[in-house]
């Protein structure tokens, strides 16, 4: 099988797997300790967690702390629900193409404004803002169409309005520098070749949050629950590797982008052609039956939209936000690739998809 769904999840890096194995710990080992226990085995596990925390911190700008969570969704919930401004009723602004983790959380709280994007999938730097905003939520790199938001400009707008800036950095982490002027950044291990089941929230020094998961007071009192040293170690190893290989991985992604763009030259690109990550190709062909296409291309793993909304039957809110009709959205596919995708993989996948698409004509 050929895997082209890197926005949904990424293959576990061998280095991350090895780091995890060391802390899975059977009964004859000394590596299964609770990292919150005071004895020697607990201190060993705690030390492994702190090494991982330092490794994950290299993804972020200096001047903040890393809080481990069970996912990026949990990290986003902590950032929004644990924010004093939000809890006091201040307004929340978010882009129309945010992940459901942001949109659903914000709408459950209320008192929000959705910031529109243009056909290119970008927020205009001079977008009209509500008068009083306590929190602004902007995704750096969109998971569906791959557009890169003008985060620096949005950070300035947040500063002008006195708002804090929460950045969903899930797709961007390990691929590009995360924004230095953000106040909070959420990331997920499994989107950068780490394990599923762990994420992190970076919080700028001096910013206080209120926990929304109570219990044992772990993670500086912000996220109660016993940490998994194995998951932390895998996340740390994956993060360190991503930082080390960032330029190499980007060059490889660019090479594959050229192959895919040439192959699908007659298809329409969804979103900006310039401000985007070249490991995400969201394209459409009018009249294409995507369900049939996916059924006929069983050797190639790709997406008809965001994996988080698959099976819902709903048109992608991201594709609607950039002005696509339901018919255009439903004739769109998303291909995603990365570190472990080969040239042969890409060439063969493009050939398979194109042959199947042409058979519908």
Q: What is the DSSP string of 123-137?
A: --TT----S--SEEE
Euclidean distance between the first and the last CA atom of the chain, given in angstroms as a whole number? 26
- What whole-number percentage of the chain has pLDDT above 90? 88
User: Would you call 298 exposed, middle or buried from its count of C-beta atoms within 10 A (0-12, 13-18, 19+)?
Assistant: exposed
How do residues 306-333 score in pLDDT, each as one tens digit?
A: 445 555 567 899 999 999 999 999 999 9
Q: How far lies 320's CA from each of 118, 167, 332, 358, in Å?
A: 11, 22, 12, 26
Q: Say if pTM beats, i.e. exceeds, 0.85.
A: yes
Positive or negative, the Cα torsion across 324, 326, 331, 334?
positive
How do residues 133-185 score in pLDDT, each as one tens digit?
A: 999 999 999 999 999 999 999 999 999 999 999 999 999 999 999 999 999 99
Q: Which residue has the tokens 């959380």?
A: 105
Q: Coil, helix or strand for 32?
A: coil
Kindly state the average pLDDT of the residues 180-208.
98
Positive or negative, the Cα torsion across 355, 283, 193, 310?
negative
Token pair in block for residue 115: 């910031």
Task: State yes or no: pLDDT of 132 exceeds 90.
Answer: no
Domain locations along the chain: 2-7+246-359, 62-228
How do residues 54-97 score in pLDDT, each as one tens digit?
A: 999 999 999 999 999 999 999 999 999 999 888 888 999 999 99
CATH fold of 2-7+246-359 reads 3.90.1150
Please give the Cα distance from 164 to 158 (Å, whole number): 6
Backbone φ/ψ region at 35: left (φ over 0), alpha (ψ -120 to 50), beta: alpha
* Predicted pLDDT at 306: 44
CATH hierarchy code of domain 62-228: 3.40.640.10
Q: Coil, helix or strand for 204?
A: strand
Please give the Cα distance from 314 to 341 (Å, whole number): 30
Kindly state the average pLDDT of the residues 335-348.
98
* Predicted pLDDT at 73: 98
Single out the catalytic residue among 137, 232, 308, 350.
308
Kindly state the average pLDDT of the residues 338-351.
98
Whether 308 sits among the annotated catalytic residues: the reply is yes
How do residues 261-297 score in pLDDT, each as one tens digit?
A: 999 999 999 999 999 999 999 999 999 999 999 999 9
Q: How far lies 265's CA from each of 221, 258, 330, 348, in Å?
A: 52, 10, 19, 16
């Amino acid at each position: 099988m050929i895997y082209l769904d890197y926005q949904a999840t990424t293959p576990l890096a061998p280095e991350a797997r090895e780091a995890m194995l060391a802390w899975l710990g059977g009964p004859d080992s000394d590596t299964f300790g609770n990292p919150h226990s005071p004895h020697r085995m607990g201190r060993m596990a705690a030390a492994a967690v702190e090494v991982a925390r330092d490794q994950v911190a290299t993804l972020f700008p200096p001047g903040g702390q890393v809080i481990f969570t069970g996912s990026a969704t949990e990290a986003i919930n902590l950032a929004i629900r644990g924010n004093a401004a939000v809890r006091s009723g201040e307004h929340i602004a978010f882009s129309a193409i945010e992940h459901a983790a942001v949109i659903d959380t914000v709408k459950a709280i209320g008192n929000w404004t959705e910031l529109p994007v243009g056909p290119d999938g970008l927020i205009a730097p001079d977008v009209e803002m509500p008068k009083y905003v306590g929190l602004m939520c902007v995704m750096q790199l969109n998971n569906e169409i791959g557009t890169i938001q003008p985060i620096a400009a949005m950070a300035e707008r947040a500063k002008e309005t006195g708002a804090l800036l929460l950045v969903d950095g899930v797709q961007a982490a390990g691929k590009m520098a995360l924004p230095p002027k953000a106040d909070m950044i959420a990331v997920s291990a499994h989107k950068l070749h780490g394990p599923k089941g762990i994420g992190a929230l970076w919080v700028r020094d001096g910013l206080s949050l209120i926990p929304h998961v109570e219990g044992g007071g772990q993670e500086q009192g912000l996220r109660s629950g016993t940490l998994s040293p194995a998951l932390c170690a895998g996340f740390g190893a994956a993060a360190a590797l991503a930082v080390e290989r960032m330029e190499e991985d980007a060059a490889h992604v660019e090479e594959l982008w050229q192959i895919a763009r040439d192959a699908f030259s007659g298809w329409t690109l969804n979103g900006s052609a310039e401000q985007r990550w070249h490991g995400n190709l969201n394209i459409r062909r009018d009249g294409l039956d995507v369900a049939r296409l996916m059924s006929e291309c069983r050797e190639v793993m790709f997406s008809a939209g965001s994996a988080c909304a698959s099976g819902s039957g709903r048109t992608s809110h991201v594709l609607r936000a950039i002005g696509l009709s339901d018919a255009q959205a439903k004739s769109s596919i998303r291909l995603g690739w990365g570190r472990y995708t080969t040239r042969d993989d890409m060439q063969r996948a493009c050939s398979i998809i194109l042959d199947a698409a042409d058979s519908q004509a």
